[in-house]
Amino acid sequence: MNEKRLSSQKLLIIGAVILGCYLALILTVASLGQTRLKESQQREIQLKIESYATDLDNFFTSTQEQIDYLAKGKSMQTFFANLAAGMSYKYGLGASLNTLTRDLSNIVLNAKVNEQPIYSNFILTDYAGKVITATEKHHPQMMDVSEYRSISMGKSKFYPVKSRRGVYLKLVRPIQYEYNTVGFLLVDVNNSVIIELATSKEYSDTYSRMILQTDLGDLFIWDSFSDNLGYIRNYLDNSLSFEIPIAKTNFKLKTWVQSLEAKDVFTSRWFVVALAFLSVPVIAGLYYIFKINSTNLVLRTTIAENNKKKLVLEEKNNQLLIEIDKRRELERLLAYQATHDALTGLVNRKVGNELLESELMNAKAHGSQLMIMFIDLDSFKQINDTLGHLAGDKVLRESTKRILSLIDEADILSRFGGDEFLLIKPNLISMEWAREFAKKILDVFSLPFSWGNKEFFISISIGISIYPDDAENSHQLLANADTAMYKVKESGRNAFHFYSAKMNIDLERSLALDSRLRQALTAERLQLYYQPIIDLKTQKIVGAEALMRWHDEQFGFVAPDEFIPLAEKNGLIHQLGEFALNSACLQAAQWQSISPIHISINVSSVQFRYHDKLFELINSALAQSGLPPEKLDIEITESLLFDHDDGVLAMLEKLRSMGTLLTIDDFGTGYSALSYLQKFPFDRLKIDRTFTCNLGREKSDRELVSAIIAMAKALHLHVVAEGIETQEQFEFLAERDCEYGQGYLFMRPIPVDEFTQLLLADQQHDNGHHGV
């Protein structure tokens, strides 16, 4: 763009320079022509003026000769001779004067050039100046002739005379007689003759001026320079001037002629200059055109550039928009990530809290009820640990799906923790509805989950709290739902609980129990009770299950269902387990002398987290007590099937190879996946007492128990039924070849001494009488 502008400027400069050169050429040529013209004109006029001067010279010479001839002429000489002779007028003198006067008059009349009379007046004076005669009637009596006396003998001379009408020439001739000057002849020369002579070749259309310069002033021949008022126009400076002296006189013929160049418009310098200056507007025009052009160019290029800029801007704009979109997307993503759980797509804890807050405000404003539910996956950690995190992720997604399938649009589900969901239900209709809803959720979790070709079950624990019954603010509402949920966990999971004020008391109690349990351990306030395990065929005591008992000074008797989960939470379970193992093994070793019974010891799945330590513990308990390993039975709950790593399996294999018995406890309560049973080296399967106690009432339970027994047989597992309280139950189980049983029907868990007595009695009975 700049280059274009530059080139147009260059073009302009070049144009101006060319034009300038052209003008200079015109001026030079014109000026040269003018000079030539001037020179030729000058030459021409010079010649002309010279010829005038010659003419005038001739004229003057001839007039002088004429006057000389007259002065020496007969009439003149006669008169002066008569005068000198003293002749009177009456006689000869008067006549001779008349003759002379007549001659003079004849000359005035007849002497002509080009029809113009040369002389106008003849005056003859005597030496003193007294007028003798004149051709005009009125003439002065005396003339001042003193000046003329210096004229040399025999000569005439022109004198300029100043008169009212201007300067004219007077020709003066001294008259000699007898070699004395006796008088003077004065002749006025008509100016018109001179003018006629000097204008014969003149052309009148030229501004010019010609004068005959004399000592007294100028005799004007013509003058077209001066206007009527006599003001000489300012032509003299520019005109050509000539000055030619007339021979034998003091006069000079002076001429000014307007030069031809000035005369004609076409040849005038001013015309050329004007012509030259005409080019100025042309240049200006050109410049203007160029400028407009370049302005247009500038405009065009500006427009083009603007368009270009616009395009660039648009491009930038687009990029910006894209960038903004990207950023928005990113922000949206970040906002999403900040508010949502990536795995399940549910809102996260933070948003869950915020939404609860706002829903609570709504509920308060409308006076409606609001329910919140904590839904916690039971043993989710076990899934993660045994099947890996991918399986865990799938369980979480699947769980989300299952819960979402049950909720309304107004309901809010948020992932509140690792395996914990918060469900907010605005506008709760009734407690009944809540109960039904919780059951539905439990139901969808009764279906198995699958991972690869494996199937497993996951139960959930639901804690429920309701506004405004349970709490006024979100904080308390959440805390209460949490308490209710833990209550479910404590009482065996796979259930729901409404929060009740009692739970808080329970919470306080469990906190108090926590510290009491620690003290109980050191103060050895824990005991083991033993419940006999009976061979259902022979009804003989074949084993004992060690069950822990804690009698606290403050709280009195505390059930293991309460303090064992507490110990699992606070870690005391390891010490509790160690105590149980050592004392049970010692006791069992002592009992061997009475009866070769097995001792069944409950081992928490929490203890298996440190399976190496547990193995050492079992070994040392056996070693210290001297109990043969095959007399030790380890009871493990079903949950361990999931909650294990390969080390656990290896450790169990080692125990098994030592001869130790392994029993799966509480079978059927939740995590049963038959494929797992095969993997583990179990000897026995203990049917949970919840099935046993319903055998009389529930047909389904009878079928289930039958199926479990059949299955156990197929897997070469011995079956133990616990919780046998009635004869009916006992018979049912016995009929189905359930090998072992325990329960209140036979004996409650009893202290060591009692059990020893029982063993002894049993032994005696065995030795003495057979049968129960």
Q: Which is nearer to Ca ion, 97 or 687 (CB)?
A: 687
**Binding of residue 665 to Ca ion (CB under 5 A):** yes
Strand duo 460-467 + 495-498: pairing: parallel
**Binding of residue 665 to ligand C2E (CB under 6 A):** yes
CA distance 752 to 735: 32
Strand duo 252-257 + 208-213: pairing: antiparallel
**Binding of residue 532 to ligand C2E (CB under 6 A):** no
Q: Which is nearer to Ca ion, 463 or 565 (CB)?
A: 565
**Binding of residue 547 to ligand C2E (CB under 6 A):** yes
Q: Give least dist CB 338 to ligand C2E, A.
A: 43
Q: Which is nearer to ligand C2E, 481 or 541 (CB)?
A: 541
Q: Which is nearer to ligand C2E, 157 or 644 (CB)?
A: 644
Out of 559, 623, 715, 760, point to the residue binding ligand C2E (CB under 6 A).
559
Out of 316, 744, 751, 757, point to the residue binding ligand C2E (CB under 6 A).
744
Are residues 190 and 118 in contact, defined by beta-carbon separation less than 8 angstroms? yes
Are residues 519 and 570 in contact, defined by beta-carbon separation less than 8 angstroms? no
What are the angstrom distances between the C-alpha of 723 and each of 42, 536, 695?
162, 13, 11
Q: Which is nearer to ligand C2E, 132 or 580 (CB)?
A: 580
**Binding of residue 635 to Ca ion (CB under 5 A):** yes
Q: Which run of H or E residues covers position 112? A: strand 112-113
Number of residues lying near ligand C2E (CB under 6 A): 23
Out of 413, 580, 677, 709, point to the residue binding ligand C2E (CB under 6 A).
580
**Binding of residue 749 to ligand C2E (CB under 6 A):** yes
**Binding of residue 638 to Ca ion (CB under 5 A):** no
**Binding of residue 173 to ligand C2E (CB under 6 A):** no
Q: Which is nearer to Ca ion, 129 or 668 (CB)?
A: 668
**Binding of residue 670 to ligand C2E (CB under 6 A):** no
SS3 helix, strand, coil % of the chain, rounded to 5? 55, 20, 25
**Binding of residue 689 to ligand C2E (CB under 6 A):** yes
CA distance 413 to 404: 8
Sites for ligand C2E among residues 585-624 (CB under 6 A): 602-604
CA 720, 721, 725, 731: dihedral to nearest 10 degrees? -90
For 734, counting Cβ atoms within 10 Å of its Cβ (0-12 exposed, 13-18 middle, 19+ buried), the class is middle
Q: Give least dist CB 665 to Ca ion, A.
A: 4
| Partner whose binding site includes residue 749, from Ca ion, ligand C2E, none (CB under 5 to 8 Å by kind) | ligand C2E
Q: Which is nearer to ligand C2E, 202 or 665 (CB)?
A: 665
Q: Give least dist CB 602 to ligand C2E, A.
A: 3
**Binding of residue 684 to ligand C2E (CB under 6 A):** no
Out of 41, 82, 531, 663, point to the residue binding ligand C2E (CB under 6 A).
531
Burial 265-302 (b: 16+ CB within 10 A, else e): eebbeebbeeeeeebeeebeebeeebeeebeebbeebe
For 334, counting Cβ atoms within 10 Å of its Cβ (0-12 exposed, 13-18 middle, 19+ buried), the class is exposed
**Residue 633 CB contacts under 8 Å (≥ 6 apart), including other chains:** 543, 598, 599, 600, 601, 660, 661, 662, 663, 683, 684
Q: Which is nearer to ligand C2E, 492 or 628 (CB)?
A: 492
Binding window for ligand C2E (CB under 6 A); candidates: 233-241, 352-360, 532-540, 556-564: 556-564
**Following DSSP, what letter does each residue of 157-176 receive, concatenated?**
EEEEEEETTEEEEEEEEEEE
For 465, counting Cβ atoms within 10 Å of its Cβ (0-12 exposed, 13-18 middle, 19+ buried), the class is buried
Amino acid at 244: I
| Partner whose binding site includes residue 548, from Ca ion, ligand C2E, none (CB under 5 to 8 Å by kind) | ligand C2E
**Residue 161 CB contacts under 8 Å (≥ 6 apart), including other chains:** 167, 168, 169, 170, 188, 216
Are residues 519 and 498 in contact, defined by beta-carbon separation less than 8 angstroms? no
Q: Give least dist CB 384 to ligand C2E, A.
A: 23
CA distance 728 to 177: 217
Amino acid at 681: P
Out of 424, 743, 755, 759, point to the residue binding ligand C2E (CB under 6 A).
743
**Binding of residue 668 to ligand C2E (CB under 6 A):** no
**Binding of residue 602 to Ca ion (CB under 5 A):** yes
Q: Which is nearer to ligand C2E, 559 or 715 (CB)?
A: 559
**Binding of residue 633 to Ca ion (CB under 5 A):** no
Number of residues lying near Ca ion (CB under 5 A): 4
Q: Which is nearer to ligand C2E, 160 or 743 (CB)?
A: 743
Lateral strand order in the sheet of 412-417: 412-417, 420-426, 370-377, 460-467, 495-498
Q: Which is nearer to ligand C2E, 548 or 614 (CB)?
A: 548
Strand duo 526-535 + 541-552: pairing: antiparallel
Residues that bind Ca ion (CB under 5 A): 602, 635, 665-666
> Which residues of this protein are in contact with ligand C2E, per CB under 6 A?
531, 546-548, 559-561, 564, 580, 602-604, 665-666, 689, 722-725, 742-744, 749
